[in-house]
Amino acid sequence: MLDLIQIALLALVAYFLWDRQRPGVKVPTMSNMRGRRKPHKIILDTCALIDGRITELANSGFVPEELVVPEFIIHELQLLADGSDSQKRERARYGLDIVQELQDSKNCTVIIDRSVIAEKHATDDKLIALAKKLHVPLYTTDYNLNKVAEIEGIKVLNVNELAQKLRTSVLPGERKSVKIVQKGSSHKQGVGYLDDGTMLVIEDAANQIGKTVTAEVTRIHQTVAGKMLFGDLVSHHHSQAPILTPQSPSTPRLAARKSTGLASRMKRKVR
């Protein structure tokens, strides 16, 4: 039985070597396979372009090499840029500038997809249909589109969720220095923001607007929009005074007095 297995293995190796030497036959190598590998893609929507952070991710190499921008998204940005709402007009123009920046980037390739999806009218529906057609994920910051796409079985890349997961963890009991910028929902609360943008609501800090205070985190509240921290204002009178000991270098007079008393007692004993 063992001899038959050895003969079969030798025959298989001999066939492989013969097939490899045939003219016109390319042996698959890692370089060839890498060259034939289909590049990864993601579809960008209007919110992703207006958000603008996609350029930093692309320059850092954290996004696929091919970015798909549907033609109907370009048209939507153009309509907003020509609209009467000044705020939307500026944001839409910024989104169009982001498309040009991505096209000029050396780390990615922008593909303008001109697919016509006549059976869908809403932009979100067209994005979902295009993602299913191309079998690629969506890159968006739109919360509602994110949920609908997940229901439809489409993978979604949301930079807001990424930013939330990359934030430094803060635990109850930690102390943070923040600048109070506004009042909270309660008339006694003051609101500040950590360096990563996390909101910190501080009790009894409403009268500290414009000042930098120290707060001790008491609890953490997770919301759909992100994480909120609550804390108490740390006052100077809450800090405990250091306990003085005879060995402490901060109490030389007390130590000198005790040493003098000890010396006088020793003199009396000698007499």
Per-residue pLDDT of the chain (271 residues; tens, 9 = 90+): 445 555 554 554 455 444 445 454 444 444 454 444 555 899 999 999 999 999 999 988 888 889 999 999 999 999 999 999 998 999 999 999 999 999 999 889 999 999 988 888 899 999 999 999 999 999 999 989 999 999 999 999 988 777 776 666 788 888 999 999 998 888 889 999 988 778 899 999 999 999 999 999 998 887 666 678 999 988 643 434 444 444 444 444 544 454 455 455 555 544 4
User: Shortest CA distance to 51 belongs to which of 18, 85, 99, 12?
Assistant: 99
Beta bridge partners, 165, equal: none
Q: Give the pLDDT score at 75.
A: 96
Unique residue bearing structure tokens 């953490």: 220
Q: What type of residue sits at position 98?
A: I
How far does CA 222 lie from the centroid of its chain? 16
Domain segments of the chain as ranges: 38-165, 168-235
pLDDT score, position 11: 53
**Confidence at residue 186, expressed as pLDDT on a 0 to 100 scale:** 83
Residues 6+ apart with CB under 8 A from 241: none
The Cα angle at residue 148 between residues 143 and 153, in degrees rounded to 5: 125
Fold classified for 168-235? OB fold (Dihydrolipoamide Acetyltransferase, E2P) (2.40.50)
Residues 6+ apart with CB under 8 A from 233: 190, 202, 203, 204, 205, 208, 213, 214, 215
**Cα distance between residue 47 and residue 141, in whole Å:** 6
- 138 φ/ψ angles, rounded to the nearest 5 degrees: -105, 140
pLDDT, residue 264, reads 54
The C-alpha torsion from 65 through 70 and 71 to 74, rounded to 10°, is: -90
Residue with tokens 């250091």: 242
**CATH assignment of 38-165?**
3.40.50.1010
How far apart, in Å, do the first and last CA atoms of the chain sit?
111
State the CB neighbour count (10 A cutoff) for residue 153: 9
pLDDT of residue 190: 93
Closest CA to 185 of 167, 172, 166, 199: 199
Identify residue 184 by its one-letter amino acid code: G
Number of residues in the chain: 271
C-beta of residue 184 within 8 angstroms of C-beta of residue 192 = no
